[in-house]
Chains A and B, each alone.
Chain A
């Protein structure tokens, strides 16, 4: 019995990497014998929950970014009555805007929302040793740079087309149910498209809530999800002359050094017609402006003559919140804290977690026919942790080893010159799979890494003597 239940779990995971539409479709196929089989064997999960009569399951998705949009679309396609509440429809979010290649395929993104395809990266060490990475990329591989307002709007529109109701409003609070299957009451201010107004107070009843409202999540506060450590990312958008922009046509830069950030990196990312120059830190937040000046200094020759057109900053979570799930409320995306260390990547993981959570709700409710329970939502957490834990852990180790001091950063940049490293890095970034790689090469890599670290630290000890 246990083995069959396990097989169904694996089956779901496999089908999620294919077109998820087919997996939802297969759930609705009226193969009564297999359905009964399924129900009988999975007595533990929400199959004991009551059927929802007269209507479909109602789920509110709070927040309309990539996480909310992906969740709403999957829910709507799965037959669940979905309401998405977003406070600012044209929000141009401060964000690096980089999406991995696999996101384009997995989320069927049209190629015209990608402003630029970055195929080269330059890593610059504290002593300005510059290493170019990207030689190992195949012609069809790239990192997509998007404008968040365009991507977010696209995903929301797709959710709307699938049947979700998109509401322009600000989530205020949530009343938790007093009995087991009673609904949650969501209170929000509906703006109804009128800018600047305080909004009309509206309350709705829903059966489950997905909190996709970002780093300062109110849903998280209402379920006492706890706090996380966060980094401040500070970014200036700079419009540079056309000849300088040519250099950044398909190239992004990463600057490392104590001057730029004590625990993160400074970046120059090309956007549609300007570059974003920024930096971030967890431990030295009051000094962020100093780090930004240092980043601009390091990139000075390449952005000379540029005009700052926008300054923005935002918190970035460093690790998941202590509680990501409470009863029938689940957190996804930045609200849950799914931002990787080392690279600070969040868009893909937000969208993917939104989709996974929605899938678990659709499955647990049998396409909106049954009430969901906490156990159904826990399946999303299980699946998420199992699939992406290796990625997060590897990036955490990389950050701990290579961002801790200037010698470590020098070693990091030296290691990036190695082709095997480049190949492994890009493979794992673009496809979000921690590939095992060649053991002999791994051994060589380990030896070279240790060598680089030892050399850099030896030089640092000498520097301290001067």
Chain B
């Protein structure tokens, strides 16, 4: 459809790449193309696991580069995106073929996670038509919970526990120096236990300065709709 050509003139580049910020005039097709090729090239490179960072491609700014694997990326002339779909040898029938992720007998879940991340990144930049003949049926819950824990939760938990321990140590020292109550006696005191609880939850909830604002906004957000509904009753109370 001709609307597809129109679509390719309004790319939806999210926060990904630094050079997408060199703003491209939306209405001019030709000047758009070299950059678009580069983006395809760079994301393809990622997808094929060659680990090219986007930063590297910045220097090849003004000329279309050949795809390193010689798959023949889109040339400057072809505006139609029909050829550019997400493809990966490990992506079979709409899901990741776990047999191809074996590493010494066991499935390398980290590699599966990486592959899915690349796929989602690709699709975010180049949304594709959903097709009934090739349905996507991948479900992230096939990756076991401990793989998620190991990769995402544990590093952050380590960080937060470290912070909590440091705060705990210095608070205990501080209280001891002020009141003379030692660490063992502090753990028996209700006030100290309360302060400990506050410190632990503080570390969990407020990790950056922005989190304070986020929490305030969250509370406001949860009650905003209620306020809108109650508006018609508020004025009755005033009358």
**A residues whose Cβ falls under 8 Å from a Cβ of B:** 124, 126-130, 226, 228, 247, 255, 257-260, 290, 293-294, 296-302, 304, 319-325, 341, 378, 381, 385, 389, 392-393, 396, 400, 406, 410, 414, 417, 451-452, 454-456, 458-464, 466
Instruction: Encode contact with A along B121-145: 1 for CB under 8 Å, 0 otherwise.
Output: 1011001111110011111110101
Closest to B228 in A: A319
Contact of B120 with A by CB under 8 A: yes
Q: Which residues of A contact B12 (CB under 8 A)?
A: 258-259, 290, 294
Partner of A414 from the list B4, B16, B141 (CB cut-off 8 Å) is B141
Q: B46 to A385, Cβ gap below 8 A?
A: no
Cα distance A257–B143 when bound, in Å? 23
CA distance A10 to B12 in the complex (A): 54
Is B116 an interface residue, CB under 8 A from the partner? yes
A302-B129, A466-B16 are known; give 9 further A-B pairs, CB within 8 A: A228-B228, A259-B127, A293-B10, A297-B127, A300-B129, A301-B132, A452-B141, A455-B148, A459-B117
CA distance A381 to B234 in the complex (A): 13
Min CB gap A125→B, angstroms: 8
Residue pair A455, B140 in contact (C-beta under 8 Å): yes
Please determine whether B117 and A466 come into contact, CB atoms closer than 8 angstroms. Answer: yes
The answer to whether B231 and A320 touch across the interface, beta carbons within 8 angstroms, is: yes
CB contacts (< 8 Å) of A258 on chain B: these are 12, 14, 124
Chain B: interface residue total (CB-CB under 8 A): 51
B210 within 8 A of A: no
- With A127-B123, A414-B139, A459-B117 known to touch, is A385 a contact of B229 (CB < 8 Å)? yes
Can you list 8 A-B pairs with a CB-CB distance of less than 8 A? Answer: A130-B130, A293-B7, A294-B12, A297-B4, A298-B128, A299-B130, A301-B130, A319-B225
**Chain A CB within 8 A of B36 CB:** no
Give A389's nearest chain B residue, CB to CB: B229
Contact at A324–B232, with CB atoms within 8 Å? yes
Known A320-B231, A462-B117; judge A298-B139 contact (CB<8 A).
Answer: no
Chain A min CB distance to B128 (Å) = 6
**Cα of A385 to Cα of B229 in the assembled complex, Å:** 8
Known: A129-B139, A297-B7. A320 touches B130 (CB 8 A): no
Separation of A290 and B26 alpha carbons in the complex (Å)? 12
A458 CA / B15 CA spacing, docked (Å)? 17
Q: Which of A128, A320, A393, A458 contacts B136 (CB 8 A)?
A: A128
Tell me what chain B mostly uses at the interface: helix, strand, loop, or mixed.
Answer: helix
Q: Is B163 an interface residue (CB 8 A)?
A: no
Q: Which residues of the other chain, A, contact B171 by a CB distance below 8 angstroms? A: none
**A374's closest neighbor in chain B, by CB?**
B236
Query: In whole angstroms, how far apart are the Cα atoms of A336 and B140 in the complex?
Result: 42
Question: Which of A255, A410, A452, A460 interacts with B130 by CB under 8 Å?
Answer: A255
- Tell me, yes or no, whether B56 is within 8 Å of chain A by CB: no
- State whether B129 touches A299 (Cβ < 8 A): yes
Shortest A215–chain B CB gap in Å is: 16
Least distance between B134 CB and chain A CB atoms (Å): 9
Beta-carbon contact of A381 and B232 below 8 Å: yes
Residue of A nearest to B135 (CB): A130
Please tell me if B226 contacts chain A, counting CB pairs below 8 Å.
yes
* B160 CB-CB contact with A under 8 Å: no
Query: Which residues from A are CB-within-8-Å of B151?
Result: 458
B residues less than 8 Å from A456 (CB atoms):
140
Distance between B93 CB and nearest chain A CB, rounded to angstroms: 13
With the chains together, A389 CA to B3 CA distance in Å? 42
Contact status B130-A128, CB under 8 Å: yes
Measured between beta carbons, the chain A residues less than 8 angstroms from B111 are none
Q: For A460, what are the chain B residues with a Cβ–Cβ distance below 8 Å?
A: 120
The answer to whether the Cβ of B54 comes within 8 Å of any Cβ in the partner chain is yes
Of A319, A321, A378, A456, chain B has the most CB atoms within 10 Å of the CB of A319
8 A-B pairs closest in CB distance: A300-B129, A322-B231, A319-B228, A462-B117, A458-B152, A259-B127, A301-B131, A396-B225
Report B-chain residues with C-beta under 8 Å of the C-beta of A389. 229
Residues of A within 8 A of B92 (CB): none
Closest to A323 in B: B232
